């Protein structure tokens, strides 16, 4: 069964709204979670690294005020896309790991902004 | 910086035949991990095979095997007895020191009946 649960799997919303995506580790405590974005026909690109209890580290070119990441517990990280616009439409995937667990990926969230 | 290169955007193979997907990478690290992931249309990331750099023996998982050439920084995936269900995007990936994964651009594999 899945060890990382990502929710929701699909979101369609209007431009200007904020969208929250959850990533949960089910069988282990994830000290680190990663958020990736995948545009159509492209590879996965890291957006940010999230360590429990500390601020996320963002990759160059990723706006931290637009993509808010919270990793308040060892089993949950959230990504909030604030004031979403059509260009934010993409596939967002999280992964989680711990010191004795390799990275496990969630099933992804397909975000469509109208 | 770590980079992963997949030079074959698309590949096709006849059902039951063998196909090899190429991957090269660049790193100054000595201890690292390499992966092949399969991404079907559902877009789930499915781990196919994993290789620890310190192991000389090539990893195998049933019909899937790798040719790991550490000196050449090459990590190819061989799929034997290809099945229709193998049709998917395949990504080569690299990680070290429990950092994030770096992915290649992907190879779209089509298995033809």
Place of tokens 């069988």: A27
Contact across the interface for B103 and A43, Cβ inside 8 Å: yes
What's the pLDDT tens digit per position in A43-77? 999 999 998 888 899 999 999 999 999 988 999 99
User: Measured at the alpha carbon of residue A53, what is the angle toward residues A21 and A8, in degrees to the nearest 5?
Assistant: 10
Q: Can you give the length of chain A in residues?
A: 114
User: Measured between alpha carbons, how far is B33 from B49 in angstroms, rounded to an integer?
Assistant: 11
Distance from CA of A104 to the nearest CA of B (A): 9
Averaged pLDDT score across all residues of chain A: 93
Which pLDDT band, with edges at 50, 70 and 90, does A82 fall under? Answer: very high
Which residues of A are less than 8 Å from B105 in CB distance?
Answer: 42-43
Which residues of B are less than 8 Å from A102 in CB distance?
Answer: 33, 50
* pLDDT value of position B100: 86
Percent of chain A whose pLDDT exceeds 90: 78
Out of A42, A46, A102, name the one closest to residue B100 (CB).
Answer: A46
Interface-testing mutation among B7, B32, B42, B45, with chain A (most A C-beta atoms within 10 A): B45
Sign of CA dihedral B52, B55, B56, B59: negative
Q: What is the DSSP letter of B70?
A: T
Out of B98, B103, B106, name the one closest to residue A97 (CB).
Answer: B98
Within 10 A of B87 (CB to CB), how many other CB atoms are there?
17
Residues in A 6-65 with any Cβ partner in B closer than 8 A: 32, 34, 38, 42-46, 49
Structure tokens at B104: 């290649």
* pLDDT value of position A1: 56
A99 vs A32, higher pLDDT: A32
Which residues of A are less than 8 Å from B98 in CB distance?
Answer: 32, 97, 99
DSSP class per residue in B28-84: S-SS-EEEEEEE-TT---EEEEEEETT--SPPEETTEEEEEETTTTEEEEEE-S--G
Contact across the interface for B43 and A46, Cβ inside 8 Å: no
Contact across the interface for B43 and A43, Cβ inside 8 Å: no
Q: Is the pLDDT of residue A113 over 90?
A: yes
User: Left, alpha or beta for A86 (phi > 0: left; psi -120 to 50: alpha)?
Assistant: alpha
Which residues of B are less than 8 Å from A108 in CB distance?
Answer: 43-45
* pLDDT value of position B67: 97
Low-confidence ranges of chain B (pLDDT < 70): none
User: Measured between alpha carbons, how far is A109 from A24 in angstroms, rounded to an integer?
Assistant: 13
* pLDDT value of position A99: 78
> Under a CB-based contact definition with an 8 Å cutoff, are residues A2 and A26 in contact?
yes
* pLDDT value of position A2: 61
Encode A89-105: b = buried (16+ Cβ within 10 Å), e = exposed. Answer: bbbbbbbbbbeebebbb
* pLDDT value of position A59: 94
Burial class (CB within 10 angstroms; exposed 0-12, middle 13-18, buried 19+) of A81: buried
User: Measured between alpha carbons, how far is B107 from B20 in angstroms, rounded to an integer?
Assistant: 11
Out of A34, A42, A108, name the one closest to residue B100 (CB).
Answer: A34
Which residues of A are less than 8 Å from B45 in CB distance?
Answer: 44, 93, 95, 105, 108
A52 vs A10, higher pLDDT: A10
Place of tokens 């995007």: B89
């Amino acid at each position: 069964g899945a060890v990382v649960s990502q929710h929701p799997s699909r979101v369609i919303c209007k431009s200007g709204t904020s969208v929250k995506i959850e990533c949960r580790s089910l069988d282990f405590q994830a000290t680190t979670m990663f958020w990736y974005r995948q545009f159509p026909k492209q590879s996965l690109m890291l957006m940010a690294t999230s360590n429990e209890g500390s601020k996320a580290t963002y990759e160059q070119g990723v706006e931290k005020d637009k993509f808010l990441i919270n990793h308040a517990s060892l089993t949950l990280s959230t990504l909030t896309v604030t004031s979403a616009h059509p260009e934010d439409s993409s596939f967002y995937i999280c992964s989680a790991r711990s010191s004795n667990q390799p990275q496990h990926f969630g099933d992804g969230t397909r975000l469509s902004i109208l | 910086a770590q980079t992963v290169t997949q030079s074959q955007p698309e590949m096709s193979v006849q059902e039951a035949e063998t196909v090899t997907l190429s991957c090269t990478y660049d790193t100054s690290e000595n201890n690292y991990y390499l992966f092949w992931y399969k991404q079907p249309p559902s877009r789930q990331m499915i781990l196919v095979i994993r290789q620890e750099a310190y192991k000389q023996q090539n990893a195998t998982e049933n019909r899937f095997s790798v040719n790991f050439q550490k000196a050449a920084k090459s990590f190819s995936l061989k799929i034997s007895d290809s099945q229709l269900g193998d049709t998917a995007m395949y990504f080569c990936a690299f990680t070290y020191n429990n950092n994030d994964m770096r992915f290649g651009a992907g190879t779209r594999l089509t298995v033809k009946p």
